[in-house]
Structure 1
C-alpha cells in the first residue's frame, strides 16, 4: 500500500473510477478514458481477480496473456514475501517478523484479494503489541471495506477501533477514526451523526488517503444543511473559517449554503440543481440521492413556511421561481408524509400552517412514557409477588 503522504490511496481512487465507469450518466467519451485508466491501474497493481471479474461483466476485455503475466508476478512476489517471513522468523527479531507479515498483508490489499488480505492482517495483528500499530491495521481494514463498500466489515472495524482506544491512543488516530466513521454514517444514511463527526474533525483533518480536504468540506456542508438547526448552521458552518477557506473552490456549494441561510430561495434551487450532478456522481452519496433531495426540500420549505401563518400558493411559487402546480404537488407529497405541518386551501389558493405546539407535544410524550413506565412497574410487581 502507498505511503500516506497527503494523497488519496490508489485503490480508493480506483474504486471511484470503477463506479463512474458503470454509471449511466457518464458519457461514452469519458468512459473510454476511464476504461484505459482502470485497465492501467489493474495491470500495474496485478489485480488479477478484479481483472477477471471486470472481464466477465464486460467492463474490460479479457486478454489471457495479460492475466497469465499478472498471475506469474503474483506467484513470484508471494514466494519472495514468504521467504522474507521465514528468514525473519529464523534469524531476526519480533519487530522484523511483524514487518514481514505486514508487507504480505499490504501486498494482498494491493492486488485486491480481500479474503487473503483480511486473513493476513489478522496474522499481523497477532504479532503486533503496540496499540498504535494495531490501530493502523484497523485503518487498512477500513480502507479495504470502503473499496468493496462492505458495510458489515466497516462497522465491525469501527467498533474494534473504539475498543482499542479505550485502552489509550493518540489524538491523531482518534481524529482520523472520526472521519472514517463519518463517511460510514453518511454512506448508510445517518446524515445527522455524519455531520457531527465531520464538524468535530474539521480543524484536525488528516485523512487524505480516502478523500481530499475539499471533498471533506463538500460532505460536511451537505450533511450539515439537513442536520443542523438555523443557529447551529450559522455558528458551525456558515461562519466557520475552515469552511470559508475552501468552499469557494467547489462549484455551487457556497451559493447553496448561503442562499439557504439568507432565505434566497430562487438562488438556492439554482445552486442545488448545479450540485445534483456532483451528488449523483459520488459513490457514497449516489444511493441516497432521492432521499437527500427530499430532506433538503423539507428543510427549505419548512424555513419558508415558518415565517407565515398563511401564505398564497402563488407567492410561494414566485419566491422559489417555480410554477404553482409544482409547489402544489410538492407540498401535497410532504404534507401527506408528515414532513410539513400545513394544509392547502385549493379553492382560495392559500397555505395555512399548523405548526405543532412544542410544549403540548412534550406533555403528550411525557404522558405516553409515564403510562409505559407504570405498565412495566405493574408487570414487575406481579413477578416479585409471585
Structure 2
C-alpha cells in the first residue's frame, strides 16, 4: 500500500476506501472481515489517520484505543508545526515557488492523515499561490480524490466544473484525458451510465489514471456501462472489436462471455455470465447503490434484442432460449411491458408474445406525450437472475 499515482499504482486512500466499504457490507463473510479489519488498522496507523480512526471506533468497525489515538494526534501536531515553520522560512528567505511548494506539502500532509476540511482549505491557499494551469489542475485532481474517498458528490461535481473552466485557459491533453476518466467515474457513481460509457470509451487508448483504479477495472466499468447505453452497431465497433478492451477483458472473470454472448445472441450463456458478474457489481463501492437498477436495465436490453427478431414468438421458445421457466419470463415481461420498457403484448391463452414496435415517427410522438410521465415512473424492483 505504499505510494499512489505512479503507473499501475492505485492511490492508497482509494484502496482503503474500498476496504472500508467491504467491511461495512453485510454480505462479506466474517473471516474476510477479520483480515480487512487488520488491513484497515494498518493503513490508518501508517498514515496517522486520527480522524478516520475516531469515526471507525465510533461506528464499531474498529476497537477503541485511546493511547494509539493520542500518539497519532501528537505526531500530527508535531508534523503540522514543522510544516508551518517551513512555510514561514520560505516566505522570509526563499522565492514564490518555494512558498507554493511549502503550502502544497502541508496540503498533501492533511490529505494523508485524512483531515478533509483542513486539506481542502490548505489546497485553496496553495491554489492562491499557483500560476501555471497544469499545477492548478493537479490541485483539482487531489480534491477529486478526496471527493471519491468520501463519496462527496457535491465536491466532485464542483471540482469537475472547475477543471473544465481551467482548461479554457489552456492545459495539456494528458490532464484533459485524465479528467474524462474522473468525470466518467462520477457519472457512473451517480447513475448516468450513458455519459459514463461515452467518457470511458473516449479514454480506452489514453488511460493513465491508475491512481483511481487498475486498467482491468476500467475495462470492467467500460463494458458494463456500454452494454446498457450503446446500440448493437456501436457496441460491436467500440467495445466488442476494441483492441484495448480485447487485450485485458479476459482478466475479469465472466466479462468476456457477458459481452460476447449478448452480441452473438447466446442468451443462456449470457445469463450464466451475468449471474457470475453480479457478485462483483454488488461488491463495488461505485456500482453497488445501482445494483437493482443495473440488473433491470441489462435484462431490458437483452429481452428487447431477442424480441427484435420476431413478430411473434411463443413464451416456451423464449424461456428455452434464456434457460429459464415460462413463469419467470411471464413475470419478467409483464412487469417490463407495464412499465412501458418493452414493446410487446402477451397472449396468455395462446402462450404467445406479439411484438408491437412502433415506427419511428409514432415512437417519437409517443415519447413526446409520455415524457412527463416517464420521469415520475417508480423503479420496478429486479428479480435476481436464475
- Shared fold (TM-score greater than 0.5)? yes
Which residue in the other structure is 2:376 paired with?
A: none
Separation of aligned partners in 2, 1:317 and 1:224 = 26
Which residue is 1:5 aligned to?
6
TM-score normalised per structure 2: 0.94
1:18/1:366 CA distance change after superposition, 3 Å = closer
Pick aligned residue for 2:89 from 79, 87, 90:
87
Cα distance in 2, alignment partners of residues 151 and 110 from structure 1: 20
What's 2:22 paired with?
20
- Of 99, 118, 142, the residue aligned with 2:101 is 99
**Number of equivalenced pairs:** 369
Deviations 1:227-268 (A, max 9, x none): 000000000000000000000111000000000000000000
| TM-score, normalisation: structure 1 | 0.94
CA distance in 2, matches of 1:276, 1:331: 21
Output aligned runs, 1:1-386, within 5 Å: 2=3, 4-6=5-7, 7-362=9-364
Unpaired runs of 5+ residues, structure 1, are 370-386
What SS does the corresponding residue of 2:165 show, helix, strand or coil?
helix
TM-superposed deviation, 1:365: 7.0
1:360 deviation in Å? 2.9
* Deviation string, structure 1 residues 173-219 (Cα, Å, up to 9, x no partner): 00000000000000000000000000000000000001000000000
Which whole-Å CA distance do the structure 1 matches of 2:211 and 2:370 have between them? 48
Cα deviations across residues 78-126 of structure 1 (Å, max 9, x unaligned)? Answer: 0110000000000000000000000000011111111000000000000
Change (3 A) 1:260 1:364: closer
SS of 1:245's partner is helix
Contact 2:4/2:12 (CA < 8 Å) preserved in 1?
A: no
1:5, distance to aligned residue in structure 2 (A): 1.1
8 Å Cα contact 2:310-2:355 kept in structure 1: yes
Task: Indicate the residue corresponding to 1:383 in structure 2.
Answer: none
CA RMSD of aligned residues (A): 1.5
Q: Secondary structure at the match of 2:211?
A: coil
Gap change, CA 1:96 and 1:65, over 3 Å in 2:
same
Cα distance, 1:362 vs. partner?
3.7
Give the Å deviation of 1:3.
Answer: 5.0
CA distance in 2, matches of 1:266, 1:297: 13
Query: Could you tell me whether the CA contact under 8 Å between 2:4 and 2:10 is conserved in 1?
Result: no
Q: Provide structure 2 residue ranges, at least 5 long, that are not aligned to the other structure.
A: 372-386
CA–CA distance in 2 between the matches of 1:294 and 1:341?
Answer: 16
Contact 2:87 2:103 in 1 (8 A): yes
Distance 1:361 1:285, change over 3 A: same
